[in-house]
Structure 1
């Protein structure tokens, strides 16, 4: 309650005069916002009823309060004033006036009931709209995360116009299924898709278990990356790649794969407007690709940097292959990586 409000009420209680109450109500119009005025009407109604004797003058003020409240759209306050008016008239034996006040109150109550029902309908409608908007947003996010890494999708949904990062210490893996092109040429299309789905899903599970994500597939080639948005060690990529070789040996013995792996700095980001796609670029990516293409079936081919980074890993062994010509890079010392037995 503001000080002005307090002083008006104090003056009303001191005067016990309906005439003074009317002047105070007029003054209040100049002081209060609509919401504050509605509160003022409620307080004046309470105190006028409790602290003055029933009189025509007081009843007239209550009707004026009801008029004021109704004009403001404060139906509850108008009802309170009308109910007190009715009671005051009944006490004075003025039953016709009491009936008129009661009739007006009943009509206002119908208005209030209608407002409450409309409010409830509006709340239900708003809840439904919010639910639908949330479902659409979740569908949008789910669709986006099927095309992009989750962290990139969340950044785009969060308002970023472009996702483009320089990532240090990322690990890139390229895998190619040896002889799959010939297999596909002699196999029904549905069987080709089924085989690729089974193989790539297994790769996804294996690499996801150490925090790596699939970047893309190109025909029967598969590309994964680790360290995009969290700390990652190349040794985990080596172990997972060796697990891929084990999976192929045990579950898909009709096939063989070549794997190239390299760690270093890359550029990662989202390209495309209507059909966004996530990709990675840089020498690290190119070297991983060349290590795969120059490798041998059922082997993991890595460069010397990987050997040095995994020197503390007793479970990994590295056999020198010698110097390998990497297109666009030159000669590099490369190695075959295996699990220590």
Structure 2
């Protein structure tokens, strides 16, 4: 007696796991009415902030078959990047920069996309299927699709949560022309817990399952291209790229395992970097330090803007004041403005006033002048 051949879906699942993915699920190439309405409401309320591309791609984002009419199924894959420590511990070391766990080594887009493409090539060769590959940067509502595929559910912080991997995993998708039986959608297991909502330092959650990106530290330090509003600077603490607070406090992380992917293990120099070293990076130095890192895409000026806010929050004039004074003359208005703010946090009033008179006369940028003219 011979064993019955595996269903195509199970063969695909086995292949995805063999390629190193930690989770695999199957969803129809369609989104439910709730996800579409959630997106519409999110955009109507302006919660996307500077991310105009979200509104521009709304039609494709809300319907996978508008993005690719031949799509019938979506294979959703997940890759664990769980840390081996509590990332919130570094918040108690204000002289060090806190970089989000996902960005402490290689750019996950490159790692994940290479593996997703390998799965898509195999699928095309073995099943003559049409395929399209997506990883994060495309107009795909990957978290609702992952929930429909049974990978996890969208928690009250709007991120995906898995009973097996907690909050720490990356997602990728293979759209295919194959009609594959969907997996059962995952149900919401958040219950009455609201730890992720209560821990947010900038109160970015107007309601459970709703996030206002304009108040989110991840958005402010990564996506926002302009000057960061005064009300958010103190709450940012030493977070210089991203924020893990709402992810880290999720109780489901007790089931998560630290990643075994070498590319996701933190580089020593990015685990707890000294703020003064980062603040002194010029553009070539920034590019060298963050080569192959997702941090590179924000550019030196925005990154040093973030670092100066952390310096202003450090409470350590002895370690940082000399660097801040140098950056008062930086070529970038973003940097100069935050150097002024950091100076006012660290310097005695007399020192700040003297520097104010020296710099105000030759400053032309209105945002920088506003910082000099402010009281704090």
TM-score range, shorter chain: under 0.3
Q: Relative to total residues, which structure has the larger helix share, 1 or 2?
A: 1
What TM-score do the two structures reach when normalised by structure 1? 0.19
Query: Does 1 or 2 have the higher relative contact order (CA < 8 Å, sep 6+)?
Result: 2
Q: Relative to total residues, which structure has the larger strand share, 1 or 2?
A: 1
What TM-score do the two structures reach when normalised by structure 2? 0.18
